Amino acid sequence: MLGAHMTAGMQGPRATVGPGTPPALRPISGGSDDLELVTGVLASGAGLCADCIAQKTGIPRVEMPSVIARIGKTVRVQTPDARCAVCLMTRPVYRLA
């Protein structure tokens, strides 16, 4: 049988999250899945800006240039100044060539 101090300690973390609420998981970024996510978003042929790609994939915006550079090693990526297909802002967009 557990002592009262052990039972109270086991209830602590659950009480901070709330009953029936799973803890939030942080997405892992920087892996090969990032390449697949971004390539999948760009596969339609539409040009998207970095902000919209980040929003669609969950990859932080600051990591977008390195992810695009890694994709560019295997597939040609165009980066013209054009209207983003999602936000409709004219800015540098990325699209597969």
Question: What pLDDT shows up at residue 42?
Answer: 93
Is residue 46, in this structure, part of any structural domain at all? Answer: yes
Q: What is the pLDDT of residues 8-19, one digit of tens each?
A: 555 554 445 556
Q: For the chain, what is the mean pLDDT?
A: 81
Tell me the mean pLDDT in the region 26-54. Answer: 83
Contact 65, 53 (CB under 8 A): no
The CATH number of whichever domain residue 52 belongs to comes to 1.10.10.10
Structure confidence by residue, pLDDT tens digits, 68-91: 999 999 999 999 999 999 999 999
Assigned token pair, 43: 């596969």
Classify residue 18: in a domain, yes or no: no
| CA atoms of 32 and 70, how far apart (whole Å) | 10
Let me know if residue 89 belongs to a domain. yes
Structural domain of 79: 29-96
Question: What is the token pair recorded at 16?
Answer: 């901070």
Whether the predicted pLDDT of 54 surpasses 50: yes
